[in-house]
A and B are shown apart, each in its own frame.
Chain A
Amino acid sequence: MTAAASAPTQEPTLAIVRPRRESTSSWPLADRLAHLLCWTVGIGLCLLTAAIVLLMLVKGISQLRLHLLLEPPSPSLHQSQSGGFSTPIIGTLIVTAIGTAVAVPAAVALATWLSEYGRPRWLARAVESGIETIAGIPSIVLALFGLLIFARPFFGILSGSANNGSVSGQSFLVAGLVMALLAMPLVASTVLEGFMQLPPRLREASFALGKTRASTTRHVLLPAIRPAIASGSVLGMGRIIGDTAIIWILLGGTLKNVPVGSAPIVSTLRGTGSTLTSYIYSNAVGEGNSHQKAYAAAFVLLLIVLALNALVTRLSGGRSAYLPGGLGARR
């Protein structure tokens, strides 16, 4: 039996027509049991996914009210007075915008260097495994790191300061920057995958016309992998939107947006606040303790994730979001 795994023949053979319904009666008992187990697990997976989707749908729709989306939260023990989650939604948008704006250019630069230059070789290998290592660091450790760096007086401009003059290191700007670190590996690996799937003739044609590497990259390769950059960015956004630990530690966990200073937009960015994830967290376990509102906020968050997911599927040509196939190869 084990010999079956040995080298396959490469000669053209007639296509094997598998019968529609295959009888398992000739199989050994162990195989039949395993086959049965496989079906059980498969059907269990179907039921599980259906249960999660239905639960969120039912709970979310039954709790979602329009006024929840429009009112800011306020600290109150009464459910009718504790407001909605308009500012957490805005907070999510701010953090995602900052994180994506920083992560995507950095990741594209990184992937470009790895794919088009990559010299010396050992350095490229170190960078590659470095990206993988960052991807494996728990987000809570990234949050600890961010706090340590941005609470230095040097970065005082990015966040507010406590009464005794020390820098708090907690603000939308800081959270967004650390989120960029969280999203960067995902974006970089997606873009790199896009580079690798480009046909070599693209580069060769450009070099043959006397273009330099930089010019080829700028005018030929980057436009060709635009779908990969787009789907990488959206994947990164999804990662940022879903993270709670960084928000909890670096955004101060205040229910409302607390601006620092008086400049109109900068004050919000320098101040603390909340996002949908931290709103859900504090309402599920913390002082807020309103399960209905947590469900409603979770439903909104899930809708955003769903929309981003659909976007990734569209951008990557209907292929898997994890192994983007045929990205740049499309005409």
Chain B
Amino acid sequence: MSAQTTQLAGAPRGASGQQDAPRERRAAHLVDAARDRRVELLLGAVAVSVVALIGLILATVLINGWPSFAANGLSWFAPGGDIVTQFRAMQTGIPLPGHPLLYFRAWPLIWGTLLSTAGAVAIALVVSTLAAIFLTEFAPGPVRRVLAPVVRLLAGVPSVIYGLVGILAIVPWVNENLISNGRRQSVAYVVQLNGANLSTAILILTVMILPIMVALTANALASVPVSWREGSAALGVNRWRTIWRVSLRAARPAIAAGTVLATARALGEAVMLAMLSGGRPFEANPLDGFTFLFEPIETLAAGILQEFGGETNTPIGHTAYAMGALLLFSAAMLSFASWAVKQRLRRYGVGS
């Protein structure tokens, strides 16, 4: 670049100045070294502040959520009662009979988070792997040239837009076409079914996290050394098995990284799920058979968004921060897991 050429052009001048005053030059060098040290300290301070910041985030969120944990003990994580009535009790300041004001049982939200995240990530893992293979191996040139940038674009689409498409296009359709009246009546005594339910949440969450996983996997598949695959082909292995056994295996670190990224996004997704769940924290029950897929859920992140009013030092505030602390803990565990997995897979892989 231009800066580089100026540096090179400046070289002879520095060389000719060498015979003038060696002592001055040494002094200048000391000044330079001191300045270098100052810059290092300054930049280092910025870097250390990042680590300090994480400590601060963990500490403050946990401290403000602590009253909720303290009031409920380990039962905080347990099932028990209706979340909505618990939140209303905190809002009005009238505790539920026989319970403290901070009484809260988060299991329905945790269950909803687990279901939606696991469902979406499991589907997206399979679909994105196959789609990435298609994109790098089988797609005709023109299709690939159009699809690759579009997938990248979809990875950057804000979640609120996915939520909008979901609530205005998919939810009404599911409500009218997929849920029969008999099914509605079979669970009418506990919950009212509409289009905003577990399956739509998982569907849209999958669509949301798919692009990033496809992009990462496709990038890794494209960077598998040709010689590895030629070696496989030369041994008489057919093309599909070469892809499956050689390319995909080499791309495992990228697949793991993409999965972790997608899980983090699904776990923390608040807005889209808040739009879809409609504020009905119901504990979807697998024993209901097929109806299970059409029961509403609510996740931790969406619950915070819907119930938290912006006051930190109220019962609702403490409960929201406790939920946030749980999310934070899960996110930290997730990045630790990704680090551990990558350490193991890095040896034989490409990209990450």
Contacts and interface: CB of A to CB of B under 8 A. Distances in A.
Interface of A: 1-5, 8-10, 13, 16, 22, 24, 26-27, 31-32, 34-35, 37-39, 41-42, 44-46, 48-49, 52-53, 55-56, 106, 109-110, 112-114, 117, 123-124, 126-127, 129-142, 144-145, 147-149, 151, 168-170, 181, 202, 205-206, 209-215, 217, 219-220, 223-224, 226, 238, 241-245, 248-249, 252, 277, 280-281, 284-285, 291, 294-295, 298, 301-302, 305-306, 308-309, 313, 320-323, 331
Nearest to A313: B149
Given A16-B233, A214-B39, A277 B160 contact: yes
Given A4-B232, A42-B131, A138-B270, A320 B215 contact: yes
B161 A280 contact: yes
B240 A109 contact: no
A45 B214 contact: yes
A49 B249 CA distance: 27
A249 B50 contact: no
Main secondary structure of the interface of A (DSSP, over half): helix
A245 B312 contact: no
A213 B143 CA distance: 47
Contact of A284 (B2, B11, B275): B275
Nearest to A132: B335
Contacts of B324: 140-141, 144-145
Nearest to B232: A4
A151 B131 CA distance: 46
Contacts of A243: 158
Contacts of A129: 335, 339
B4 A309 contact: no
Contacts of B138: 38-39, 42
Instruction: Please give me the 6 A-B residue pairs with the lowest Cβ-Cβ distance, nearest first.
Output: A138-B268, A42-B134, A242-B158, A113-B43, A8-B231, A214-B39
Pick the most buried of A8, A27, A306: most chain B CB atoms within 10 A of its CB: A8
A117 to B, nearest CB: 5
A178 to B, nearest CB: 11
A11 B194 CA distance: 63
30 contacts: A1-B245, A2-B245, A4-B231, A4-B232, A4-B235, A4-B237, A41-B131, A45-B131, A45-B135, A53-B150, A110-B46, A123-B48, A130-B50, A131-B50, A132-B335, A138-B264, A139-B268, A141-B327, A142-B57, A214-B40, A215-B36, A220-B4, A241-B158, A242-B160, A244-B159, A281-B275, A295-B164, A301-B158, A313-B152, A322-B216
A138 B3 contact: no
Nearest to B6: A219
Q: Pick from A110, A136, A147, A281 the residue with the most CB of B within 10 Å.
A: A136
Contact of B230 (A16, A134, A291): A16
Interface stretch (B91-99, B176-184, B302-310): B302-310
Interface residues of B, number: 116
A47 B51 CA distance: 44
Contact of B238 (A26, A39, A206): A26
A125 B125 CA distance: 29
B47 A127 contact: yes
B312 A148 contact: yes
A41 to B, nearest CB: 4
Given A38-B134, A38-B138, A113-B43, A214 B164 contact: no
A224 B334 CA distance: 35
Given A41-B131, A45-B214, A145-B57, A138 B231 contact: no
B19 interface: no
A295 B304 CA distance: 25
Interface in B330-352: 331-332, 334-335, 338-339, 351
Given A45-B147, A140-B301, A277 B158 contact: yes
Contact of B228 (A8, A136, A147): A8
Interface stretch (B79-87, B165-173, B287-295): B165-173
Interface string B168-208: 11000000000000000000000000000000000000010
B61 interface: yes
Given A133-B335, A138-B270, A212-B32, 12 more contacts: A8-B227, A38-B130, A55-B169, A149-B60, A223-B2, A242-B156, A245-B270, A281-B271, A284-B164, A284-B275, A294-B164, A305-B157
A241 B135 CA distance: 29
A133 B54 contact: yes
A45 B151 CA distance: 9
Contact of A209 (B14, B216, B264): B14
A309 B156 contact: yes
A106 B232 contact: no
B114 interface: no
Contacts of A252: 310
Given A31-B238, A141-B327, A113 B275 contact: no
A10 B323 CA distance: 54
A40 to B, nearest CB: 8
A28 to B, nearest CB: 8
Contacts of A24: 240
A136 B334 contact: yes
